[in-house]
Chains A and B, each alone.
Chain A
Amino acid sequence: MVDAAFLALSVITIGSAIAALELRSMIYGSMALMGTLGGIAGFFLLLDSPFIAMFQIAVYVGSIAVLILFTVMLVKRELIFKKIEDPRRKFAGIGLMLILMMGLGSIIIDSGLRTIQTNEPAVDFRDIGEDFLTYYWPALILMALILAGAVTGALVLARREDVEDEQRAN
């Protein structure tokens, strides 16, 4: 049986995921996306992995959601409030979602995952740090390079070439 915290978190997460996609204003939509990301962080806390939960809050709720919010603010006002979607595709999309959920859900419920329970202690976050610095160190360095490259690439892409430096100074 699930406990009350799990139920509340799943209602918050799934409800705000639907709201993020369906709310008319994209600003409220990105705030609802923050709710989804925060709800996932709550699930990580329920799963006894506080380190991942803090990482999720710092990276997703703290930076990605704010980045999305600022991008939404750069877009024209009437585009923020306009709903752009194919009405014919909407029912097909809802059908696809339901078929996917029911198909995957019935497979998962029938499988042996149902009986898995654990009483073992949770993974200590010191093990994660040790993993990072021993077995996964090439991946860690590669990840740092990818992040640096991505940020530099984003800056280069978003730079305006038609604006001269004197205009920038003014």
Chain B
Amino acid sequence: MTDAIFVSKAGADRRRGLLDWLLILSLPLLMIAMELGVYAFEPRVLSLRNIVNVLNQSSYLVLFASAQMMVILTRGFDLSLGTTVSAISVASALVMTGLAAAGAPDFVLVAAGLIVGLGFGALVGLFNGFFVSWLGINPFVVTLGSLNICLGLATTISGGRPVFNVPDVFSLLFYNGVLIPGLSIPLMIAILVCLGLYFLLNHTVFGRSLYLIGNNPRAAYLAGLPSKRFLGLAYLACSLLAAFGALMLTARTGSGEPNLGGSLMLESIAAAVIGGVSLQGGVGGVGAVIMGTLFVTMLSNSMDLLEVGGYIQQILLGCVIIVAIFLDRLRLTRG
């Protein structure tokens, strides 16, 4: 090891060593290596079609991972994300099919679906945010509670069965319509959301405050930042992003699914953490989330192409999560 380089003297700037660069570039390098490795066995992995496919698949997870990032930045996390997605999918589908059966015009259907979905997301976000920021309760407990509540709601209102016949116009608008040729709507939305989030995190007081609160909540409070309000807003933003993702997924499946969010909680946290959003708070960004999402999606895409069984995929995902957190640890102690 080249430890001598890393010994820092007071005031002197540290030079980045080889290992640091490797750590920083570990994820992109790993992705390239993985794709090339798979290419040796299955050339389709680098076909244009597959790459487009991976990008389209990523556009959902990137929303959920960004949602998760908003709260991880503040040292929290949202366990309820998966079941929130399920509940929103079912609720919005029920409203839209109900209105469609009553013969309401298309724009009313879509508006109602959006309002119900986002409204529900806002409620969950406010619930989580209220208990976490105003009562100071551990986010783990709070979101564990809302996980159960949303799970119960999703299965109760749907009777446990999928809600079919979501109006085509909804799917057209959020899934298979063509606005710009060659660019699917989900991908377009994902890009827009990422740009928006980038602005939010880097150019607004709210975004800056999230980093400061996550880095040192006590210092942020002493500096007069409205910590409680921003913390609550972070949970609201998280649930709203999740709600939006839920609506897009509903548009894709064309039905409201009570199990839609099944593995999303785990995947969203995994993608964010793998990308480098630190659970210690205050570290991360849109770029990290995109990288993490791409990695997770590419991994499962490659394994699908290689016809690796779902169970082994699950085991591998677990291993990847542990390795990622270990790398994160290394990065923190080095940096």
The answer on A and B forming one complex is no
Q: Which residues of A contact B (CB under 8 A)?
A: none
Q: Which residues of B contact A (CB under 8 A)?
A: none
